[in-house]
Chains A and B, each alone.
Chain A
Amino acid sequence: MTEDQEIVNLDDCPPKPALLAGAAVSFILTLFPLSYALCCLPLVIGGFVATATYIFKYSIRIELKVGMKLAILSCLAGFGASTALYDILWAATDYRIGLNWYVELLGSLADSAPESSRDQLLESIDLLKSQKIGLGVVLQQALTVVVTSGIGGGMGGALASSLFKKGSLAQ
């Protein structure tokens, strides 16, 4: 790929479809408590999908900052929406998506954990069960969405924009 190829104007490539694709993936993967076991991988995947969709849709190669920004925004939208849905259900019906599954997972981990960390795990299960929704929890979740989307989305976007380098440079 030569650098003298045609340069595409970034304004001619609206990011909405890519943002929606990444946000949809992030939403689905973070809505269920699978994300607890997979660390930041669901958001890395969401960010990667957003940037890769953008690159392939317009057959372009993009700068790192553009790819990362797109991925972070899509993760913010997807993860933010799933957190909002989780909170609405929690506040309205006292139902917390995937809580039982997560408590079971923690319980099985506590069974096989060494004596020193078992108590801490059981304590965290009790804390999780007794937690009530309030301003503190919502604020904490908002910070979680921002920090996690920044890290996971940034990694996914950076990886996608450095992996796919065919096509004209968009700037």
Chain B
Amino acid sequence: MRELEARERRLGSRSSDFKTAWGGLIIGSALIASIVGIAWSGSDWGRGIFSHLCHQQTGRCIAVGGTAMAVCARCLGIYVGIVVGCAFHALRYSRSKVSSTWLWINLLGAACTNGLDVLLEAWQAYGNLPILRLALGLYLGVSLALFVLGRVTTPSPKENNRASNRLPSGVG
């Protein structure tokens, strides 16, 4: 009985991970497609939608079809990274999970390198490097997706919710 419950719990956990990863993959892909599409069409109205999501400084954005994208290179990297992280998690679905320690190290490493990049640029250690920002954003996005998906709280199997059939003591 316990084996059955454990198996059910494992399957429930995998199913939940799998659905979340696929959801992130689909929504993230749609978001990236719309950002690229807006740049491709050169729509100012479309750029306006993302104006609160990013500073949109032309020099810090990657250009598509001669028009800068609606989000900067780092933001684009984060979104692409989240999609890649979700895809990676969905594909390695049947394999063993990555350890929590590794996920923490990876996420903190990504956050620190991005912070360091911002500081170094502010101190004028180097100039405007959109490719570096894209790469670091990608690293942060992948780390974030793997961290969240690797630590998903899974719903308990239905067996755990079922009330006990045993009568309270002293009854009957």
Contact = CB atoms under 8 A, between A and B. Distances in A.
B interface bracket (residues with beta carbon within 8 Å of A): 35 or more
A88 interface: no
Nearest to A154: B27
Contacts of A143: 49
A64 B53 contact: no
A35 B98 CA distance: 35
A148 B56 CA distance: 14
B151 A39 contact: no
A144 B72 CA distance: 16
A151 B156 contact: no
Interface pairs A-B: 9 shortest CB-CB? A117-B58, A162-B151, A117-B59, A162-B148, A158-B148, A120-B58, A39-B54, A140-B48, A143-B49
A109 B53 CA distance: 18
Interface in B50-71: 50-55, 57-59, 68, 71
B160 interface: yes
Contacts of B9: 3
Interface of A is mostly: helix
Contacts of B52: 30, 35-36, 79, 144, 148
B135 interface: no
Given A40-B75, A152-B53, A144 B153 contact: no
Interface of A: 3-4, 7, 30, 35-37, 39-40, 61-65, 79, 109, 113-114, 117, 120-121, 127, 136, 140, 143-144, 147-148, 151-152, 155, 158-159, 161-163, 165, 169, 171
Given A7-B160, A120-B58, A155-B144, A147 B151 contact: no
B155 A171 contact: yes
30 contacts: A3-B160, A4-B160, A7-B156, A7-B160, A35-B52, A36-B51, A36-B55, A39-B55, A39-B71, A40-B75, A61-B153, A63-B153, A64-B16, A64-B153, A65-B20, A109-B57, A117-B58, A117-B68, A120-B68, A121-B58, A140-B45, A144-B49, A144-B53, A147-B50, A147-B53, A158-B148, A159-B144, A162-B152, A162-B153, A171-B156
